[in-house]
Homo-oligomer: A and B are copies of this chain.
Amino acid sequence: MANIQEIAKLAGVSSATVSRVINHKPHVSSETRAHVQQIINQLDYVPNINAVSLKKGATKMLGIVAPTFSDSLGTFLKNFTLAAQQGGYNVTLFLTGLDKQKELEAFERLRNKQLDGLVLVIRLNEWDVLESYAKYGPIVTWQRVEDRNIQSVFMNQYDGYMLALEHLYEKGYRKIVNAYGNTAGLNTKSREKAYADFCQKYDLNPNEFKHFYNQGHMSEGETMARWWVDQTHKPDAFVMATDYLASGLVTEAKRLGLSIPQDFAVVGFDNTLVAHLLDLTTIHYPIGKQGENAFIMIDNQLSKRTNPLEALSFHLVERLTT
């Protein structure tokens, strides 16, 4: 492919003049400009943008990092990407699976200036390791972190979870089973705290039933339906970590000939498509807006702006499972 020197030679001008034409700089006569542009077009010359971004020191590229994107995290990915594109950035996707090295590779790209900023949806490495990269560019996470050089778009799960519990109480349910997600996460701790406070408020025994932890896959929801059948002392309601998990419980219950909410009530979490399809009562979680906020936080840091964040709140969506 042609380079600036060849264009200069063919046009009979200096390389500096060619560069001024390419970069739309002044001090070139319109006649010379047209002549040089014609040669550029003939040669099908394209400036190498990697060289341009090398000079400018910004790649206008952001990274988004997660083990996988499914269900509600897909909405986060989409809204973050659309907001970034709107703001003049593109987004590189890093799927880490269970590979800590892959996660670090994304962070190394921040250090190497191949990314201007980074959103870490769900981490694999320790926070201390990841935080050490904060000096190379803005890092925002979806997870709850505090007292770190990493900003977070988290919402306090206590509030959303309490909405689910109060709704069940109002409907007359008193024998509630909780299915939590990742045990180690601060989100689970917030939900546990909500349940403890709820039990204290209404004088319920918080350990009347087993608590389920690390529940994620739909098949684990299916297993819980079969667990319910086997119990002699049966709970009358389930609060499930996600709609996806709740969907397994509800569909398996129907296959077993049970009636919901007559046999037991179910509340999901997230308000995804699956909740609409199965008429699940659930907690609406504005995860798309969190994706937009993640971009605003990064953009504010990179561009020294103070654009306001979207206001975020949970609300109950009552359907047919309570």
* Complex copy number for this chain: 2
Once A91-B92, A95-B85, A97-B82 are accepted as A-B contacts, the answer to whether A48 and B277 lie under 8 Å apart by CB is no
Assembled-state Cα–Cα distance A77/B73 (Å) = 14
Assembled-state Cα–Cα distance A111/B77 (Å) = 26
Number of interface residues of A (CB under 8 A): 41
Contact mask for chain A residues 54-69; partner B; CB cutoff 8 A; 1 contact, 0 none: 1000010100000011
Once A78-B68, A277-B274 are accepted as A-B contacts, the answer to whether A50 and B53 lie under 8 Å apart by CB is yes
Answer whether residue A29 sits at the interface, using C-beta atoms and an 8 A cutoff.
no
Residues of chain B within 8 A (CB-CB) of A69 are: 74, 77-78
Answer whether residue A112 sits at the interface, using C-beta atoms and an 8 A cutoff.
yes
Q: How far is the CB of A104 from chain B (nearest CB, A)?
A: 13
Residues of chain B within 8 A (CB-CB) of A97 are: 82
Q: Is there contact, CB below 8 Å, between A102 and B85?
A: yes
Q: Is there contact, CB below 8 Å, between B53 and A81?
A: no
Answer whether residue A185 sits at the interface, using C-beta atoms and an 8 A cutoff.
no
Assembled-state Cα–Cα distance A279/B250 (Å) = 13
